Amino acid sequence: MATTALERRLFVDGEWIETGDRLEVRSPYSGDLVGRVAKGGPQETKRAIDAAERAMREPLPAHKRAEILVKVAGQLGRRHDEVARLISEEAGKPMKAARVEAKRAMSTFTFAAVEARKLAGEMVPMDASQAGEGKLAFTLRVPRGIVGAITPFNFPCNLVAHKLAPALAAGCAVVLKPASATPLSALLLAELMEAAGLPSGWLNVVAGSSAEIGDVLVEDERVAALTFTGSGDVGWKLKERAPRKHVALELGNATPVIVCADAPPDTAATLAANSFSFAGQSCISVQRIYVLDDAWDEFVRDFVPKVEALVVGDPADEETDVGPVIDDDARRRILEWIGESGGEVLTGGETNDRDLIKPTVIANPAHDAKVSREEVFGPVVTLTRTSSLDEAIELANSTRYGLQAGIFTRDLRSALEAAQRLEFGGVTVNEAPTFRADQMPYGGVKASGNTREGPAYAVRELTEERLVVIQL
């Protein structure tokens, strides 16, 4: 735990500014003060947009943008311990998972640097029609404009990286509003970007009241694109309120997995490890496992002891697998949902002596229970016995979500059938759907979102094509 609380200012127009008001960041595990951050509002957000507008008047060449991104990746590598510890302290994320996140942020910046150097339009084959004869045409990819980025608490470093790095690669200036619970990693990234030579105004970080800052980002016409990662309720409302902006949404899921009788032998171990890391607070944490009849007995026998073997405790401890959820409200809600599931609690279902929810496995919950239909965002997994692959696919598709899903089988036909019929942005085969590498096109369908992140895809979203036609 932090011995001295950090004091941080906001980053606006290349300056670290005070506001006279403070946001406290407390450890979700101990309640200790981790840091205090200057709290911004409409005035700072407006100032940030002014700065971003000025910055974009003098575009940065691609090689400079790439160099900055590479330098930040290097610093993330050199300062790995500090970055991982900060993630762990502010989010209550176990060090094991925080280290993975810190390394992934490096990868996100590295891939964005590649995209900055590759950014180009394409030739249009003009003589393919009579009308185009005697003409040459091509497209340029131009930045959309100022990007308003809003990020959630659960990946305070890498999901911020997924906003900042592609935006810079695309040539867009950013006004970022990080989650109030976890603004410190975002401010550290701003520090690294400044030190890497990012000129004033290209990145502005304003922490504070979400409604106030969000309103300015929605209403100011100079903000051309909003990129939001967080809950559906907030995300879809933002999109409704900003019909003339490009609004990219990365939202929640109630991640399903199908386990067939011919699943590989390490399936239970893989799923036990991927259902509870960061206490299930990942948008693709495994939540609903549909086990086919013939696999049921063996899977339950293997899975439950592996869940019980997970180490629950202090996130600062390198051995801990499962730490706290983000706050008391989340803990109360999750315990309530477990209580009303209508299924049999095979393990967990209660808190330990430090008030941490024990990894919980519920067998055969009611189909209309919240744990079966909504995103739990906690250390809870349901096991549902199903009679056929058809039924399992139907149940997996039965919620409003569609981010990632998975199937474990060695039968190619079952795997391909699931890949075709599961209505999700991504389907993993013999890998937990919690898997994400940062270059992948990642995003959801249905209520889970409307975009794909991963630097190559995000850069496409943040630029638009401009056609140039030349009469020869």
Annotated catalytic residues are: 250, 283
DSSP state, residue 208: B
Q: How far is the CB of 11 from ligand NAP (least distance, A)?
A: 16
Minimum CB separation from ligand NAP for residue 201, in Å?
22
For the packed helices 412-421 and 389-396, what is the interaxial angle rounded to 10 degrees?
A: 30
**Contact flag: residue 151 with ligand NAP (CB under 6 A):** yes
Binding piece for ligand NAP, criterion CB under 6 A, among 141-149, 209-217, 356-364, 411-419: 209-217
Work out which of 231, 364, 397, 398 binds ligand NAP, going by CB under 6 A: 231
**Nearest residue to 417 via CA among 258, 255, 256:** 258
The yes or no reply on residue 101 touching ligand NAP (CB under 6 A) is: no
Q: With respect to ligand NAP, which residue has the nearer C-beta, 149 or 260? A: 149
Q: Applying CB under 6 A, does 210 fall inside the site for ligand NAP?
A: yes
CB of 153 to ligand NAP, least distance (A): 4
Residue 80 or 239: which CB sits closer to ligand NAP? Answer: 239
CB of 207 to ligand NAP, least distance (A): 8
Residue by residue, DSSP assigns 213-259 as HHHHHHH-TTEEEEEEES-HHHHHHHHHH-TTSEEEEE-----EEEE
Q: Which is nearer to ligand NAP, 315 or 426 (CB)?
A: 426
Length, in residues, of the chain: 472
Which region, judged by CB under 6 A, interacts with ligand NAP, from 10-18, 100-108, 146-154, 366-374? Answer: 146-154
Range in contact with ligand NAP (rule: CB under 6 A) among 9-17, 104-112, 120-128, 206-214: 206-214
Q: DSSP 3-state assignment of 148?
A: strand
| 416-435 footprint of ligand NAP as x/- string (CB under 6 A) | --------------------
Measured distance CA(192)–CA(188) in Å, rounded? 6
User: Does residue 68 interact with ligand NAP by CB under 6 A?
Assistant: no
Structure tokens at 355: 């008030």
C-alpha distances (whole Å) from 174 to each of 10, 12, 155, 335, 351 are 14, 10, 19, 38, 41
Q: Does 126 bind ligand NAP (CB under 6 A)?
A: no
Write down the least CB distance from residue 410 to ligand NAP, Å.
30
> Are the beta carbons of 339 and 346 closer than 8 angstroms?
no
Q: Tell me which residues in 327-386 interact with ligand NAP (CB under 6 A).
A: 375, 377
347 burial (CB, 10 Å; 0-12 / 13-18 / 19+) is middle
Which token pair is 365?
A: 């919950």
DSSP string, 375-420: ---SSEEEEEEES-HHHHHHHHTTSS--SEEEEE-S-HHHHHHHHH
Site for ligand NAP in 235-254 (CB under 6 A): 250-252
Residues between 168 and 187 that touch ligand NAP (CB under 6 A): 177, 179-181
Secondary element (H or E) of residue 320: none
- In the complex, minimum distance from the CB of residue 306 to ligand NAP, in angstroms, rounded to a whole number: 24
CA–CA separation, 418 vs 389, rounded Å? 8
- The contact set with ligand NAP (CB under 6 A) reads 150-155, 159, 177, 179-181, 210-211, 214, 229-231, 234, 250-252, 283, 375, 377, 403, 449
